[in-house]
Every structure is written in C-alpha cells, then in structure tokens.
Amino acid sequence: MEFTQDWFTPNIPNWTRLLAELRGRAGVRALEIGSFEGRSACWLLENILTGPGAHLDCVDTFTGAVEQRIGFDASGIRARFDANIAQWREQVTTHVGESGDVLRVLSDAYDFIYIDGSHLAPDVLSDAVLAWRLLKPGGILIFDDLLWDLLPRPEQRPGIAIRSFLLCHAGWFDLLRVDGQVAIRKRAAYEADALRQTQPTSIFEGSTVKFQV
C-alpha cells in the first residue's frame, strides 16, 4: 500500500475502542464519505470489516478540491486508492461523484458512517443530514476535522457544520467522544436525557474543545 499522506493513524486507538462491537461481525455495512487514498478504508477492511458479508461503500470525487486550495498536489488519488484497496476489492463499492448526489440515491442501512469529505461547512452539513437517514438506530457516526481551520472563513471549515448538526439533532444521539473528531451513536427514539447531554454548556465538558456556534 502507498500513501502520500497519513492523517488517519492518530485516530486508530479511538476507532479500535469505538468500533470494537463491529469487529468480525457478519454483514456489517460501513459508509465512508471522503476516502482520498484509502488510508481509513484499508484500516476498516483489515481490522473491523472482517466478518462474513461485511461491506464498505466509499464516496469521493478523487479530485482533492480543498487540498488543492491549500497547495496540495492531488494528482493520482484515484489510482492510489484503487491500488491500496485491491486485496479487498470484492468488499468495496466505490461511488465516484459529489457526495450530495451520491448519498441521495443510496438506500442501504449502515452500522457505521464516517464523514470526512468536503471541508466546506455547507457540504459537511449536507453530508451529515443525508447520511443520518442511512444510519441504523444504534449505529455509529464519526465526524472528522472538528478543529480544521486551514481556510480563512468560518463557512470554509467543518466545525460550524458539525456543531449545527449536533444542535439540530440533540435528543436523538448519545455522544461517544469529542476531540479532533466527534463520535455519536444514533438513538432509536428521542430522549430528553440525550438532549441535556448535548446542550452547549455541557457537550464538550472535560474537553479542551469549546462548544461555540
């Protein structure tokens, strides 16, 4: 496997704990929005999606649009992705296109969804809303890049979208972890306790992250 960038490895200890219940389970369905060269996809396939019938859907334009705006060479992303996941080819469905278009036509129910596509706040919010309907009750959703700030304006950063989504869905999820990433579990029904858990004054209690919109 070949990766020109590795932004994922620091997340492995947290993901190992958060996704332990899915490891080796038959028929697990996972959705990754934003795959880049496949670093997180390969880890999932090697360590979590190891049970019979486990499957991963990957959504990406493979153009690295935001990365190009910060001076990153995005050429060859798709070729490296294909080469890196080659040994798991039968377990992966690759959807090439804008996530807003792809997510609208997906109908599977997923046990795990990872949102790490466009860094622009409107896109992140759209990805989250569209992905939420695809996540099973009890399923886990992880947002990347809560603190990403490499572009200057607020609407060019994921954080404001992630916080807005959490406010809009307060009462419908349990908060599992907050650091540079946010992990939540979807509830089957609205719960007032979950609403209190996600109020701005307490959602990031015990974290260096402050909940500000």
Chain-centre distance of CA 34, in angstroms?
8
In the chain, % helix, strand, coil (3-state, to 5) comes to: 40, 20, 45
pLDDT of residue 3: 87
pLDDT at 5: 82
Give the pLDDT of residue 139. Answer: 98
Task: Report the pLDDT value the prediction gives residue 203, as an integer from 0 to 100.
Answer: 42
* Polymer length in residues for the chain: 213
Give the model's pLDDT for residue 141.
Answer: 98
Q: Are strands 55-60 and 29-33 parallel, antiparallel or unpaired?
A: parallel
- How far apart, in whole angstroms, are the C-alpha atoms of residue 151 and residue 66? 9
Cα distances from 164 to residues 29, 124, 201, 203, in angstroms, run 26, 10, 14, 13
pLDDT, residue 204, reads: 42
Q: What strand order describes the sheet that includes 182-186?
A: 92-96, 55-60, 29-33, 110-115, 135-143, 182-186, 173-178
pLDDT of the chain, 213 residues: tens digit per residue: 788 888 899 999 999 999 999 999 999 999 999 999 999 999 999 999 999 999 999 999 998 766 545 556 677 899 999 999 999 999 999 999 999 999 999 998 999 999 999 899 999 999 999 999 999 999 999 999 898 777 778 788 899 999 999 999 999 999 999 999 999 999 999 987 765 555 444 344 444 444 333
Q: In order of start, what are the domains of the chain with their CATH numbers?
A: 9-197 (3.40.50.150)
